[in-house]
């Protein structure tokens, strides 16, 4: 009976915590792949996290790099967030873990000044913008993996290695027109999956 009562109390606390923390909805949206929710989470907590990280790692440039790692970790961990704490508390825990990793990778200068002032958003690198680029790159790679192998090979040689059409065709052992046909079909498929993609010259 006592165990059942404790479980009911905990469940009630979790539900109350979920209903009173407006950030919970953002985490749920992030778990569904909503990048806009990540932007909003950063808008709400980015500056305070950056201040915390400056104190943790001792210098602002490194803190900005670590903040990118924090937002990436939050994005990747959104689906595992159970709502047992406030989202801000969860983010602070992530920030401290990432700061510890950063200190292990790179020892800060012994006399690095601490910036106690509230950072100016206009002066800082936006980690969400950097993250957006990573998301787009990851989406492109996933889309390419859905193509037939022969089209993947054509894209790899022409777009990513910068080979000319004749050189790529020679390496693949196919006529140039066959290579062009594969690239054309690959671009059509990628447009359907991602939108506009660049043309090879």
User: What fold is seen in the domain 146-194?
Assistant: Arc Repressor Mutant, subunit A (1.10.10)
Q: What CATH number labels 2-106?
A: 1.10.1740.10
pLDDT for position 95: 93
- The per-residue pLDDT for range 178-191, each reduced to its tens digit, is 888 888 888 888 77
* Nearest-10 Cα torsion for 34, 12, 91, 38: 10
- Cβ-proximal residues to 105 (8 Å cutoff; 6+ apart), any chain: none
- What share of residues in the chain are helix, strand, coil (percent, to 5)? 75, 0, 25
Question: What value does the mean pLDDT take over residues 28-46?
Answer: 88
Q: What is the pLDDT of residue 130?
A: 56
Q: What does the domain layout of the chain look like in residue ranges?
A: 2-106, 146-194
Q: In this predicted structure, what is the pLDDT of residue 162?
A: 77
Could you write out the DSSP letters of every residue in 1-21? Answer: -HHHHHHHHHHHHHHHHHHH-
The pLDDT value recorded for residue 198 is 47
pLDDT-wise least confident of 9-13, 53-57, 162-166, 174-178: 9-13
Residue ranges in the chain assigned as alpha helix (H)? 2-20, 23-31, 35-57, 60-77, 87-105, 127-145, 149-155, 165-172, 176-194
State pLDDT tens for residues 123-143: 445 555 555 565 566 667 777
Alpha-carbon distances, residue 192 vs 134, 140, 143 (angstroms): 20, 12, 10
| pLDDT range class, residue 121, cuts 50, 70, 90 | very low
∠ Cα 18 127 48 (to 5°): 55
The enclosing H or E element of 96 equals helix 87-105
State the distance between the two ends of the chain, measured CA to CA, in whole angstroms: 74
pLDDT band for 90, please (50, 70, 90 cuts). Answer: very high
Per-residue pLDDT at 103: 86
Give the mean model confidence (pLDDT) for residues 149-156. 84
């Amino acid at each position: 009976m006592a165990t059942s009562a404790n479980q009911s109390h905990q469940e009630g606390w979790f539900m109350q915590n979920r209903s009173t923390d407006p950030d919970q909805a953002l985490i749920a949206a992030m778990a569904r792949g909503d990048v806009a929710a990540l932007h909003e989470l950063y808008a709400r907590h980015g500056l305070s996290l950056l201040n915390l990280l400056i104190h943790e790692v001792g210098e602002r440039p490194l803190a900005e790099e670590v903040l990118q790692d924090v937002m990436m970790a939050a994005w990747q961990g959104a689906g595992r967030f159970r709502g047992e704490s406030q989202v801000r508390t969860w983010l602070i825990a992530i920030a401290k873990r990432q700061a510890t990793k950063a200190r292990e990778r790179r020892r800060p200068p012994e006399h690095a000044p601490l910036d106690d002032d509230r950072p100016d958003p206009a002066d800082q690198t936006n980690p969400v913008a950097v993250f957006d680029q990573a998301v787009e790159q990851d989406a492109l790679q996933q889309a390419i993996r859905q193509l037939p192998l022969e089209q993947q090979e054509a894209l790899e040689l022409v777009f990513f290695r910068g080979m000319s059409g004749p050189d790529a065709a020679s390496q693949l052992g196919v006529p140039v027109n066959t290579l062009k046909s594969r690239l054309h079909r690959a671009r059509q498929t990628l447009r359907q999956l991602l939108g506009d993609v660049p043309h090879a010259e």
